[in-house]
Amino acid sequence: MNDAQWEACVAFHGHACPGLAIGFQAARAAQIHLGFQSAADEELVCITENDACGVDAVQYLTSCTMGKGNLIFRPSGKQAFSFFLRETGASIRLVWKPRAWPEERQAKMEAIVAADPAELFSVTEPHYDVPEKARLFDTITCENCGEGTAELFIRLQNGRQLCTDCADTYNRGW
Ligand SMILES: [Zn+2]
Ligand SMILES: [Zn+2]
């Protein structure tokens, strides 16, 4: 068990919990499989299929973060994380394997943290592609509220450029 790394993840997340331990091990498994530690920029991309506690350990250990645009949330509700190395094209999808853990929360967490990360996940190829690099968009001022937003989020409604807060939604299930 790598105590210093785990403690650092706990400090980043705010508390120790079994969910954080899952992300901790997912990040370590990805590092082992891809032979890569953490991202200075967007060379490593993580697609997380959940927005639970474990994502914080993934962010801390791999430096795939929301702010850099190399942490992408693709909700499926699964304890699954994919990692892509842009330079080599290597990719991996890790899916948490069900197995009998201690019932008690603290014991479960400790058992997960102490386990060999290579044994905890099914390893497959992602069934989705790595997204393009983060783009920069011009800022447009909403003609209703006056707040600026990225061009991507502007809607044209009755000839006015509106932000998504101000535009009426029209959902036909497309
Ligand atoms: Zn937590
Ligand atoms: Zn607006």
Residue 101 CA, ligand 1 centroid: distance in Å: 17
Residue 147 CA, ligand 2 centroid: distance in Å: 6
Q: pLDDT digits over 92-137, tens only?
A: 999 999 999 999 999 999 999 999 999 999 999 999 999 888 889 9
Residue entry with tokens 């508390």: 15
Whether 8 has a pLDDT exceeding 60, the answer reads: yes
Q: Is 93 found in the same domain as 21?
A: yes
Q: Which ligand is nearest to the CA of 149?
A: 2
In a domain, 74, yes or no: yes
In a domain, 129, yes or no: no
Q: Is 139 found in the same domain as 108?
A: no
Q: Which ligand is nearest to the CA of 141?
A: 2
- CA torsion 78-31-24-125 (nearest 10°) is 10
Residue 142 CA, ligand 2 centroid: distance in Å: 5
Q: Is 139 found in the same domain as 120?
A: no
Q: Is 77 found in the same domain as 114?
A: yes
Q: Is 143 found in the same domain as 112?
A: no
Residue 54 CA, ligand 1 centroid: distance in Å: 7
Residue 134 CA, ligand 2 centroid: distance in Å: 24
Do the Cβ atoms of 21 and 112 come closer than 8 Å? yes
Q: Is 49 found in the same domain as 120?
A: yes
> Whose CA is closest to 73, among 49, 109, 57, 43?
49
Q: pLDDT digits over 11-68, tens only?
A: 999 999 999 999 999 999 999 999 998 888 889 999 999 999 999 999 999 999 999 9
Q: Is 149 found in the same domain as 107?
A: no
For residue 146, what are the domain limits? 135-174
Total domains present in the chain = 2
Q: Which ligand is nearest to the CA of 23?
A: 1
Q: Which ligand is nearest to the CA of 162?
A: 2
In a domain, 24, yes or no: yes
Residue 60 CA, ligand 1 centroid: distance in Å: 14
How far lies 173's CA from each of 73, 125, 153, 157, in Å?
Answer: 21, 30, 19, 19
